[in-house]
Amino acid sequence: MTTTFTINGQPYTANLTNLPPDITLNTFIREHAQLTATKFMCQEGGCGVCICVLRDGQRSWAVNSCLTLLNSCSQLEIVTSEGLGNKSSGYHPIQKRLAQLNGSQCGYCSPGMVMNMHGLLESRGGQVTMAEVENAFGGNICRCTGYRPILDAMKSFAADSNIQLPAECVADIEDLNMRTRKQCPKTGKRCAGNCVRSNLIYDDGSQWHWPKTLVELFEALEKVGEQEEFMLVAGNTAHGVYRRSPDTPRHFIDVRGVGELQEHSSDAQQLKLGANLSLSQAMDIVKDTSQQAGFEYLQQLWQHLDLIANVPVRNSGTLAGNIAIKKQHPEFPSDVHISFEALNVHVLASINAKEQQQMPLADYLSSKDRKLVLKAFLLPAYPKEKYIYESYKIMPRAQNAHAYVNAAFLLELGAESQVKSARICFGGIRPDFVHATAIEELLLGRNPFDNAWLEQAFAKLSTLLQPDEVLPDASAAYRVSLAGGLLYKFLLKHAPAASVNDAFRSGGKLLERALSSGTQVYQTKKENYPVTQAVQKVESMIQCSGEATYMNDVLTTTNTLHCAFVGATKVGASIEQIDTTEALRQPGVIAFYSAKDVPGSNTFTDPTFGYEPEEIFCATRVRYYEQPVGLVVALSAERAQRAAKLVKITYSQSQLLRPVLPSLSDVLDMSPLDSSLIIQMAKPKPGKFQCSAEPDVSVRGVFQMGLQYHFSMEPQTTVAMPFEDGLKIYSATQWMDHTQSVIAHMLQLKAKDVQLQVRRLGGGYGSKITRGNQVACAASLAAHKLNRPVRFIQSLESMMDANGKRWACRSDYQFHALNSGKIVGLQNDFYEDAGWNTNENPVTGHSKFTAANCYDFNVANHKITGNAVLTDAPSSTWCRAPGAVEGIAMIENIVEHVAFVVERDSAEVRLLNIAKDNKMTELLPQFLKSREYHARRQEIEAHNANNRWTKRGLGLSITEYPIIYVGQYAATVTIYHVDGTVVVTHGGIEMGQGMNTKVAQVAAFTLGIELSYIKIESSDTINGANSMVTGGAVSSESLCFAVRKACETLNKRLQPMKKKGVGWEETVQAAFAASINLIASDHYKEGDMQNYHVYGMALTEIELDVLTGSNQIRRVDLLEDAGESLSPYIDIGQIEGAFVMCLGYWLSELLIYERQTGRLLTNRTWNYKPPGAKDIPIDFRVEMVQNPQASSAGFMSSKATGEPPCCLAVSVIFALQQALQSARKDAGLPREWVRLGAPTTPEILLLNAGHDIKSFRLK
């Protein structure tokens, strides 16, 4: 059987019989249509890189192509980014706007951003508001930009836009090419939706059904045997929550075409919503109906539905689908369920086409009949004169997250606010808990706004709620307090004004987020243009169209194979046997390789580069959960991943004489402490510790920082291709030299026979310095063994399980200070989580180098000891600003603690302790004055004094960041005599940091030509041989240095040819005619430039909802001494992105291991939460300043910007500390420092706020 559809206007006919029944649209687009603009990463609708737009005869909508099944796309129009606009047909205004407003850095997320915006505009007929735009990007993750320029670009299309646009950005709305009319791919006429599809039986016996009526739906269900699995398919979005087992259902029944399930109607008594309406369709109906009398409460329901997942998921997922997840998985905190249950929604359900029954939603959920089909939901009218209704969802971040706890409350009030009926519902407590029945009963006949009732009710609630304890869910204590806080918030909002203390009133509202905005201030130097000029990133246009090539976009032959790792699951044991029988029996599985198949060195870290060996495939003791032990090779990635789960491993008895210890806390909290796991690496300076003066106070403290996963949008990727007598490798690596070396040693080849090429990376942040070598080696081994191209894209779960993260850190400190705040002595013993070995440790590097920051200490009064701690986890690795994030945070936290103890302003304490000759003594006072620091502190104190349940804080942090040049970098500049155009190749890796743009600017400036003459080609191990890793914030400057040297060589050669009035092209042609060499190579070497410091400071203002722990960043002022920026747009983007990445570190990115096994429990977008578009500062002000005395260090007086701002994000927890202290004071707690760290989640904040739900009062 075939199915037809169009992609970008091109008709496609797919032979479904030859494709898997659960093949996704993404797989077809990329592997069959070979359109690579549409990316993939998480494969669960959580990152947004896969978004494309679908059209039928009535509407357009954005979807996650990684979830959308191809068999559900019959007769649809599919639009991808390269179809929206490209270099051949012209770029679309959205693509151009995103590029021109600097919204693309690594570019991997850019096509998804473009298509999400296009879907929004097309679905709304081009008419959207800025608020709608900003709200629509909850499902698009960007790790590079910090979102601000992306949101600016997209909001510029809004009808109420106030975004200032450059002249070249102005586009007529007609250019947006809005379309909702669809043509049939068969006839070319407008689609009538009449194509007949029946069912398809696959060779393995599985079936796909396409019913168009309820009768046909039940006919399909009749074909399902009692023991057979089946799935009703609408959007397949449940796969993003609960992964299906490798044994796919035998029957797929596509219910999208059943019109009876999408009907809706309303009258004065009820609203009827078809069960198969998408969440987005239901939201539109709900919003419209909320204008009718009796249905005003639907506005609140709309707001709650808007918090479910993200726009593309809501466009595909249905009401019935959401309830179906709840039915199959009672622990699922369904927002549809909790809202509908509180509203006493009934359902219409059928067991056959002729009969239907109306029943409460709870009865449907408890029904054992698996073929009972939901037809509709019936929502009653609730006149606002009699009923009050609210619902709540508290999440780890603002959007696209499931609830810690969700709740919905409906009260029917009679005379004098007496409760006639009550529905009090909570989700996220435990699977069998929905109604707080005892509270509902207690409410009947009572006034809920009476303090006596409150005291009784919350005392009962605190014992009634008994949450389960299941990791990685939040603690039971938090969920009890949160649930109580939500009920209290409901009562505060609706209580008569006279019944509520004015200071309590703000607790009745959730935090209200304004539209975000930002300002950027920088200087340029026109005499150096295009250097210092604010220019568009050179690759930005092709990145936004999707034409930019990443490693997984390399096209190969049809005989390409795919891979998946097989992981070990018994930490501490040795592998005795690997049984691959069942795996190799699966159709399309080609081979399995393990350590015994490696002809050379079984390591992906080369000892000649100073590394301890780390095994490609575990051959000895299992060091951590999911450590790769082998590789399955198959015809598709899906088949490889399924077969990998069938490999059976037999283990020896564990060799560990202790429990599994996967985290730093697990080791340091042991009693007794296992000293063999702690390696002292940074010793204190010689001499006895001695304070510089007699201290007034001496205080001990502990400061803890967790792991952070890099979350680069491009997965670890390698395409290995046999070529003549060697291999061509396309690898997403930050260090070609190292990758080439480990592959050559593994295969016992010479380096000349292993050639790498890297066009660009979709983000790195340190994750691809060495960790990607494991994938590169595995793919290369398979390609070498099988003599076929091999493509290995590591899954998100596998990456998070097996790849190292930022080193977690604990600081045990004691400070000695005067009452003035002057620190006269400091001892700091810090411990960093190495994972199972100490490769890539920052302990002796930036953790130690930055531990004093810019403060005044001497050898005697400042003693630091740095320790690496071995854990049963993947070896930790470099992560953006490695060591410096921890080092700066440790000392800044200590300064804050000092200020708290001596009761001084922390800015005052900083100024008192900064070394007298340090530039910070000049920069910080100016910064504080220009940002009205003291006036804002007073405003915050006044707010906190007048508000019991919302608090604000203002946090300050400063950094003196050391930039240390290392290694060497090669570059080659080639001038073409034909037209004078120039190609530059180099040994660096463009990964979003703007390296290529800066290199192009320097080449154009040095040669004296227009920037348009310059092109940067792919990096490879021929022109970029022997080059150092791209990282540490120094690579761009080093390569600019190398390129300038090469250009200067060319200038010297061209000098004799230069004549007055003769242009560049003529000069080049004359040089060619004279046989002058137009190719020059040079390199940067260590010592060519001086090390220097970058100075930065940030003020972060937050607002805290004390009742929930939720918080938002109201404003950030960030200033960085950036020297003379080579490319201001690039550097502003680096500053914003680095700061926001580490906001995630301090607020939401929580990694949790299961202690018994060492398994990482937060290894997906479902439960690991980087910041989203509505988690960034509402008001984001960034300024780059040049020191009054221009720096002689750095390249052309520039300074690095990619890493120092990471160290400033710690200011957010200092602001939260202030807010928390005000809350604790109001709670009557003694003044006491609260240990906050990374991450400081809503759970930590609420549990430290000091109140007890039993103490809630209205007045």
CA distances 239 to 64, 727, 765, 983, Å, are: 12, 37, 29, 46
- 734 is annotated as contributing to ligand binding: yes
914's CB contacts (< 8 A; 6+ apart) are 854, 855, 856, 920, 921, 924
Structure tokens at 488: 């209290």
* Cα separation, 1031 vs 840, whole angstroms: 13
Quick one: 1037 exposed, middle or buried, by C-beta within 10 A (0-12, 13-18, 19+)? buried
- 50 is annotated as contributing to ligand binding: yes
- 142 is annotated as contributing to ligand binding: yes
1240's CB contacts (< 8 A; 6+ apart) are 1146, 1147, 1212, 1213, 1216
* Cα separation, 719 vs 1001, whole angstroms: 31
Lateral strand order in the sheet of 251-254: 199-201, 207-209, 251-254, 230-233
**Parallel, antiparallel or unpaired: strands 2-7 and 77-79:** parallel
Q: What are the phi and psi torsion angles at 530 (to 5°)?
A: -80, -5
Angle at 801 between CA 796 and CA 802, to 5 degrees: 100
From the candidates 216, 1124, 1203, 1243, give the one annotated as an active-site residue: 1203
- 757 is annotated as contributing to ligand binding: no
Q: 574: number of CA atoms within 13 Å, CB side? A: 5
* Cα separation, 1066 vs 215, whole angstroms: 78
Identify the three-state secondary structure at position 1090: coil
What letters, b where the CB count within 10 A reaches 16 and e where it falls short, cover 882-917?
A: bbbbbbbbbbbbbbbbbbbbbebebbebbbbbbeee
- 393 is annotated as contributing to ligand binding: yes
User: What are the counts of helices (DSSP H) followed by strands (DSSP E) for the chain?
Assistant: 34, 41
Q: What are the phi and psi torsion angles at 262 (to 5°)?
A: -120, 10
Q: Are 1044 and 1006 in contact (CB under 8 A)?
A: yes
Q: Measured on CA atoms in the order 624, 625, 630, 636, is the torsion positive or negative?
A: negative
What letters, b where the CB count within 10 A reaches 16 and e where it falls short, cover 87-123?
A: eeeebbbbbbbbbbbbbbbbbbbbbbbbbbbbbbbbb
Q: Are 353 and 218 in contact (CB under 8 A)?
A: yes
- Where helices occur in 803-855 by DSSP H, the ranges are 846-849
Q: What are the phi and psi torsion angles at 1067 (to 5°)?
A: -60, -45
- 42 is annotated as contributing to ligand binding: yes
Q: Are 972 and 985 in contact (CB under 8 A)?
A: yes
What letters, b where the CB count within 10 A reaches 16 and e where it falls short, cover 164-189?
A: eeeeebebeeeebeeeeebbbbeeee
DSSP class per residue in 254-303 = E-TT-GGGG-EEE-SSEEEEETTSBHHHHHHHHHHHTTSTT-TTHHHHHH
Q: Are 310 and 237 in contact (CB under 8 A)?
A: no
- 66 is annotated as contributing to ligand binding: yes
- Bridge partners (DSSP) of residue 1100 are 955, 1116
- 880 is annotated as contributing to ligand binding: yes
Catalytic residue list contains 1183: no
- 691 is annotated as contributing to ligand binding: no
Q: What are the phi and psi torsion angles at 853 (to 5°)?
A: 50, -130
Q: Measured on CA atoms in the order 930, 935, 941, 946, is the torsion positive or negative?
A: negative
Q: Are 432 and 330 in contact (CB under 8 A)?
A: yes
Tell me, what amino acid is at 786?
L
Angle at 123 between CA 119 and CA 127, to 5 degrees: 105
* Cα separation, 204 vs 20, whole angstroms: 10
Known binding positions for [2Fe-2S] cluster: 42, 47, 50, 66, 106, 109, 142, 144
Known binding positions for Mo-molybdopterin: 734, 880, 1032
Known binding positions for FAD: 374, 393
Residues marked active site are found at 1203
Known binding positions: 42, 47, 50, 66, 106, 109, 142, 144, 374, 393, 734, 880, 1032
